[in-house]
């Protein structure tokens, strides 16, 4: 899973979150489940989120990419897009995830691309297409996130200074 890649965010988004004490590239370069699975966010905006994940280490007993791993990648990318759409006054919380698995992947990286289907005031829905290194669709997913107002204590979970 190796080297960490720098996440690409529009500069105005980085500046907006930095003013609140949140280092967005650090927040999305490190993490818990996504880090263990090797998810890398390569590009992130409310209009498009791109990320990769290795197949190795994320397989089921037959050696194929685990459907749950595809779900983790899809939910991660859709949640990032939803969070960026909601802005600094909202928290994006996944409320629905649907994945259709089209083909297996046995090696290499899969790439997910999340694009908005709906971006409203209280919900955001993203379609996520996950493809193998040959560009073949592995999984189609749809995630809907509730956009709720930031409450006291929420900011502490997004800050990188402790």
Catalytic residue numbers, as ranges = 75
Q: Which helix (H) or strand (E) covers residue 35, if one does?
A: helix 33-37
Q: Whole-angstrom Cα distance, residue 4 to residue 53?
A: 12
Q: Give the strand order in the sheet containing 137-149.
A: 40-44, 49-54, 109-119, 123-131, 137-149, 90-101
Q: What are phi and psi of 140, to 5 degrees?
A: -115, 130
Say how far residue 28 (Cα) sits from the centre of its chain.
8
How far, in Å, are 32, 65, 139, 144 from residue 53 at the CA level?
14, 10, 13, 21
What residue has token string 């107002």? Answer: 149
């Amino acid at each position: 899973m190796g080297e960490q890649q720098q996440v690409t965010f529009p500069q105005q988004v980085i500046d907006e979150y930095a003013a609140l004490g949140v280092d967005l590239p650090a927040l999305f370069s490190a993490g818990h489940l996504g880090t263990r699975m090797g998810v890398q966010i390569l590009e992130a905006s409310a209009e498009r989120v791109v990320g990769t994940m290795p197949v190795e280490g994320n397989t089921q007993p037959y050696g194929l990419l685990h459907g749950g791993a595809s779900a983790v990648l899809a939910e991660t990318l859709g949640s990032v897009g939803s969070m960026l759409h909601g802005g600094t006054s909202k928290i994006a919380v996944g409320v629905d995830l649907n994945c259709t698995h089209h083909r297996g992947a046995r090696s290499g990286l899969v790439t997910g691309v999340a694009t908005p289907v709906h971006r409203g005031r209280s919900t955001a829905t993203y379609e996520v297409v996950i493809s193998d290194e040959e560009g073949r669709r592995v999984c189609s997913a749809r995630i809907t996130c509730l956009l709720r107002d930031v409450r006291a204590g929420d900011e502490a979970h997004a800050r990188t200074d402790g």
